[in-house]
Amino acid sequence: MTFRDLNLKKPLWNALDDLGYETPTTIQAASFNVMMSGKDTIGIAQTGTGKTLAYILPCLCMWKFSKEPHPQILIIVPTRELVAQVVREVEKLTPYMNVAVGGVYGGTNMNTQAAMVLQGLDVLVGTPGRILDLAANGSLQLKHAKKVVIDEVDETLSLGFRAQLLRIFEFLPVKRQNMVFSATLSEEVSDFLEANFTVPVRVEAARSGTALAQIDQIGYRVPNFLSKVQLLHYLLDNTADSSKVLVFVQSRVLADMLFEEMESSLLNSVGVIHSNKAQNFRFNSVQNFQTGVFRVLIATDLIARGIDVTDVTHVINFDIPEIPENYIHRIGRTGRADKNGVAITFVSEKDADALSKIESLMQQELPFTEVPSEVEMTEELLEFEKPVAQIPGKLLKLAKREVGPAFHEKKAKNKKVNVRYDHKKAMMDKYGKPKRKRN
Ligand code: AMP
- Among protein residues, the one whose CA lies closest to atom 20 of ligand 1: 21
Non-local CB neighbours of 237 within 8 Å, separated by 6+ positions? none
CA of 415 to the centre of ligand 1 (A): 73
Residues 341 and 378 grouped into a single domain: yes
Residues 75 and 112 grouped into a single domain: yes
With beta carbons less than 8 A apart as the criterion, state whether 77 and 165 touch: no
With beta carbons less than 8 A apart as the criterion, state whether 54 and 206 touch: no
- Between CA 368 and CA 352 the distance in angstroms is 13
* pLDDT tens-digit map of 162-200: 999 999 999 999 999 999 999 877 788 888 998 998 878
- Between CA 381 and CA 258 the distance in angstroms is 15
Please tell me if the CB atom of residue 310 comes closer than 6 angstroms to any atom of ligand 1. Answer: yes
Among 47, 53, 75, which residue has the most ligand 1 atoms within 8 Å of its CB, making it the best to mutate?
53
Instruction: Say which range, 92-96, 148-152, 240-244, has the weakest mean pLDDT.
Output: 240-244
Please tell me if the CB atom of residue 21 comes closer than 6 angstroms to any atom of ligand 1. Answer: yes
Please tell me if the CB atom of residue 277 comes closer than 6 angstroms to any atom of ligand 1. Answer: no
CA of 22 to the centre of ligand 1 (A): 11
183, 204, 225 — which closes off a domain? 204
Query: How large is the average pLDDT for residues 228-249?
Result: 95
Work out the end-to-end distance of the chain between its first and last CA atoms, rounded to an integer number of angstroms. 75
Residue among 387, 358, 382 at smallest CA distance from 224: 382
What global pTM score does this model have? 0.60
Give domain status of residue 391, yes or no: no
Domain with 316 in it: what CATH number? Answer: 3.40.50.300
Atom of ligand 1 nearest to the CA of 85: 4
* pLDDT tens-digit map of 70-96: 999 999 999 999 999 999 999 999 999
* pLDDT tens-digit map of 32-59: 999 999 999 999 887 777 899 999 999 9
Atom of ligand 1 nearest to the CA of 24: 19
Number of domains in the chain: 2
Give domain status of residue 404, yes or no: no
Please tell me if the CB atom of residue 31 comes closer than 6 angstroms to any atom of ligand 1. Answer: no
Please tell me if the CB atom of residue 88 comes closer than 6 angstroms to any atom of ligand 1. Answer: no
Q: Which domain holds residue 247?
A: 215-385
Residues 30 and 171 grouped into a single domain: yes
CA of 33 to the centre of ligand 1 (A): 19
* pLDDT tens-digit map of 360-406: 888 789 999 999 999 999 999 998 888 876 555 544 444 444 444 44
Please tell me if the CB atom of residue 335 comes closer than 6 angstroms to any atom of ligand 1. Answer: no
Please tell me if the CB atom of residue 181 comes closer than 6 angstroms to any atom of ligand 1. Answer: no
* pLDDT tens-digit map of 271-322: 998 877 777 788 788 889 988 999 999 998 866 666 667 788 999 999 999 8
Give domain status of residue 350, yes or no: yes
CA of 351 to the centre of ligand 1 (A): 33
385, 401, 421 — which closes off a domain? 385
Among 21, 22, 212, which residue has the most ligand 1 atoms within 8 Å of its CB, making it the best to mutate?
21
Higher-confidence position of 151 and 341: 151
- Between CA 92 and CA 270 the distance in angstroms is 28
Residues 238 and 183 grouped into a single domain: no
Give domain status of residue 392, yes or no: no
Give domain status of residue 54, yes or no: yes
Q: Is the dihedral of CA 12, 14, 15, 21 positive or negative?
A: positive
Residue 372, CA distances (Å) to 19, 234, 351, 419 in order: 41, 9, 21, 55
Residues 278 and 320 grouped into a single domain: yes
Pairing between strand 201-204 and 394-395?
Answer: unpaired
Rg (CA), the chain: 27
Give domain status of residue 412, yes or no: no
Query: How large is the average pLDDT for residues 226-245?
Result: 94
Residues 143 and 191 grouped into a single domain: yes
* pLDDT tens-digit map of 405-434: 444 444 444 444 444 556 666 666 666 665
144, 174, 204 — which closes off a domain? 204
Higher-confidence position of 408 and 356: 356
Pairing between strand 101-104 and 394-395?
Answer: unpaired
With beta carbons less than 8 A apart as the criterion, state whether 63 and 122 touch: yes
- Between CA 275 and CA 255 the distance in angstroms is 11
CA of 258 to the centre of ligand 1 (A): 30
CA of 212 to the centre of ligand 1 (A): 15
CA of 236 to the centre of ligand 1 (A): 26
Please tell me if the CB atom of residue 146 comes closer than 6 angstroms to any atom of ligand 1. Answer: no
Give domain status of residue 420, yes or no: no
Please tell me if the CB atom of residue 2 comes closer than 6 angstroms to any atom of ligand 1. Answer: no
Residues 37 and 160 grouped into a single domain: yes
Please tell me if the CB atom of residue 47 comes closer than 6 angstroms to any atom of ligand 1. Answer: yes
Atom of ligand 1 nearest to the CA of 51: 3
Give domain status of residue 433, yes or no: no
Atom of ligand 1 nearest to the CA of 89: 12
CA of 303 to the centre of ligand 1 (A): 19
CA of 209 to the centre of ligand 1 (A): 20
Residues 149 and 272 grouped into a single domain: no
Please tell me if the CB atom of residue 52 comes closer than 6 angstroms to any atom of ligand 1. Answer: yes
- Among protein residues, the one whose CA lies closest to atom 9 of ligand 1: 50
With beta carbons less than 8 A apart as the criterion, state whether 189 and 153 touch: yes
Residues 253 and 334 grouped into a single domain: yes
Residues 170 and 250 grouped into a single domain: no
Residues 150 and 224 grouped into a single domain: no
Residue among 420, 418, 416, 417 at smallest CA distance from 391: 420
With beta carbons less than 8 A apart as the criterion, state whether 246 and 316 touch: yes
CA of 47 to the centre of ligand 1 (A): 9
Residues 133 and 25 grouped into a single domain: yes
